[in-house]
Chain A
Amino acid sequence: MSLVDQFKPETSQSALVAPSALVRQARRRSQRQQWLIYGARILLVVGALVFWQLASGTILDASFLSNPLAILHQTITWLSDGSPWYESTLIANTVVTLEETLLGLFFGIASGLILGFLFGLQPTLERIFNPFIIALNSIPKIALAPLFILWLGIEIPMKVVLAAVTVFFLIFLNTINGVRNVDQHLVDAVRLMGGRQRDIVLKVILPSATGSVLTGLHVAIPYALIGAIVAEQIGANRGIGYLIQSSGESFNAAGIFAALLVLTVIAGLLNAVVNLIDRKTSHWKAGLKLHSSDQQ
């Protein structure tokens, strides 16, 4: 399928020549399958929305379940409440939540990476701290929220700290793992080249731990958002979490759904960023599975 296969006479007989009729047919079939799946998804969403709208007020209680048009109406109201759009209820609160999430991610990732590398490279240190780290990690971070409110009040720093603590452990543990799982043979190879400790860390441990760190990052991003939202629901006067909480308290089901919609969009965007980083850093892994059969 790639350049590579064409140059590997001993492992591949296919893909040497232009696609045959059979290959073209298989491609067409998988293409058709793809369109079918996209089509089915769109149909499902449209169908659900239409059903929701029609059933609302007849078989479903609109005060509990709201309906798509009411949610749309609520969203527009939040976007046009007199102030310029970028200062409207929806955008202002989104910005607050995003700020907390990103700051939490930043501090959590930075501290997790630094301590993860330190502990990974110093096994004795890790062995001393291990039981305490496990104990701390097993506490649900959300349970710490009252403590952070006590220390920092209900402003932004409290949410940042809660998100950061959640992110920290995910990055920290994955970094230790990545550093620990470095292939000893690769380390020996660098020693044979005359490499010093610095070369081993920079040229072997760092790149080989990247995969594990990224796995941590994948999980950490949604958790940072969860940390920020839950902190806002526990105590805040701004943010998407606060919007959900206050809509709930005033029996505004459409408001809850509209805020959840915004939340979904934020989570989707953050995930897209992770996927982008993933693709940029793991190009050397692409197709690994394809060729696993000719490695011993």
Chain B
Amino acid sequence: MSTVIHIEQLSKSFVRNDQEIAVLRNMNLDIESGSFVVIAGPSGCGKTTLLNIVAGLLPPSSGAVYYKGAPISGPRLEVGYLTQKDTLMPWRSVERNVEMPLEIRGVAAPERRRRAAEFIRLVGLAGFEKLYPHELSGGMLRRASLARMLVTMPETLLLDEPFAALDAQLRLELQNELLSLWSRQRSSVLFVTHDLEEAILLGDRVLVLGAGGRIIADEPVTLPRPRDVFHIRFRPEFTSLHRRLWDALMESRSQVQRQEVKL
């Protein structure tokens, strides 16, 4: 398999109150094309910063990220990014929100409407096209955001704790739908979470990040697909992998906390 995202000696620091804070230090990582890679780690380990850099929203302080061999210098049209926070335009209806990326790309109105309708149906929001974001529940907002990201059919998806704010049942439901959507398109996915169960359930490969984006664990997930989100957690492979990743996560937490104390 070829590499889709290549991260080389990546460092990122921010200046806050006249102090330099290093979020990522000399990170190296390769993501194979077509794989579902999950990055887990406690808050403060630089997961979101990493995704923002890969998405082209933030420039690295040093090092570089390559997308299919070309250094990333800004957002790329073939990469879709679902942020943690809902960023639907509150003054646009679901339909007009989903159409928006096509509108910016200059797709003609009838074609735009047809494709938006198709993806709205795909995420299970048919019948809600005319509603505004303030009229939607948390789960419906996520579905609409998902439709907006998928409507341009990106070949690579970046997802930043997309289901963190949802209740447990709804999260399972949406994880299930994400899996079935992914199995159809087989895009490359970089998925960030702090939930290990979610990581194992979804990923081909789970990484645990520690302070400064250091990779503490890098485990392949050998569980067969399609996976049953409701019962997979009872399989022995699941339990043993969960235990190994849990230990890594605990180590990562204490690292991040030590770093925070130093600051």
Contact = CB atoms under 8 A, between A and B. Distances in A.
B199 to A, nearest CB: 22
A186 B75 contact: no
B13 interface: no
Contacts of B131: 3-4
A291 B140 CA distance: 14
A109 B133 CA distance: 30
Contact of B138 (A185, A210, A294): A294
Given A185-B85, A191-B57, A288 B104 contact: no
Identify the interface centre among B55, B135, B138: most chain A CB within 10 Å of its CB: B135
Given A8-B137, A284-B132, A294-B138, A199 B104 contact: yes
Contacts of A10: 137, 139, 167, 170
A96 interface: no
Nearest to B127: A7
Nearest to A292: B134
Interface in B70-115: 74-75, 77, 80-81, 83, 85, 87, 89-93, 100-101, 103-105
B104 A195 contact: yes
Contact of A192 (B81, B90, B93, B103): B81
Given A185-B85, A185-B87, A192 B134 contact: no
A193 interface: yes
Contacts of A285: 90, 134
A140 interface: no
Contacts of B127: 7
B182 interface: no
Interface in B221-257: none
Interface string A59-87: 00000000000000000000000000000
A189 B91 contact: no
- A interface, how many residues as a size bin? 20 to 34
Interface stretch (A118-126, A200-208, A271-279): A200-208
A208 B133 CA distance: 14
Identify the interface centre among A4, A185, A199, A207: most chain B CB within 10 Å of its CB: A4
Nearest to A10: B137
Contacts of A203: 89, 100, 103-104
B66 interface: no
B90 A284 contact: yes
Given A291-B135, A296-B165, A284 B91 contact: yes
A91 B92 CA distance: 44
B57 A193 contact: no
Contacts of A7: 127-128
A291 B100 contact: no
A287 B134 contact: yes
Nearest to A281: B91
A155 interface: no
A234 to B, nearest CB: 43
A296 B104 contact: no
A65 B11 CA distance: 79
A92 to B, nearest CB: 43
Identify the interface centre among A3, A10, A294: most chain B CB within 10 Å of its CB: A10
21 contacts: A4-B136, A7-B127, A10-B139, A185-B85, A185-B87, A186-B89, A188-B57, A188-B87, A190-B104, A191-B74, A192-B55, A193-B105, A193-B152, A194-B105, A203-B89, A207-B89, A208-B90, A283-B132, A285-B90, A288-B134, A294-B137
Given A10-B137, A188-B57, A188-B83, 17 more contacts: A4-B135, A7-B127, A185-B87, A186-B89, A189-B83, A190-B100, A191-B57, A191-B74, A192-B57, A192-B75, A193-B75, A199-B104, A203-B104, A207-B91, A283-B132, A284-B93, A288-B134
List 9 tightest A-B contacts by C-beta distance, closest first.
A189-B87, A193-B101, A4-B135, A284-B132, A284-B91, A207-B91, A185-B87, A195-B104, A193-B104
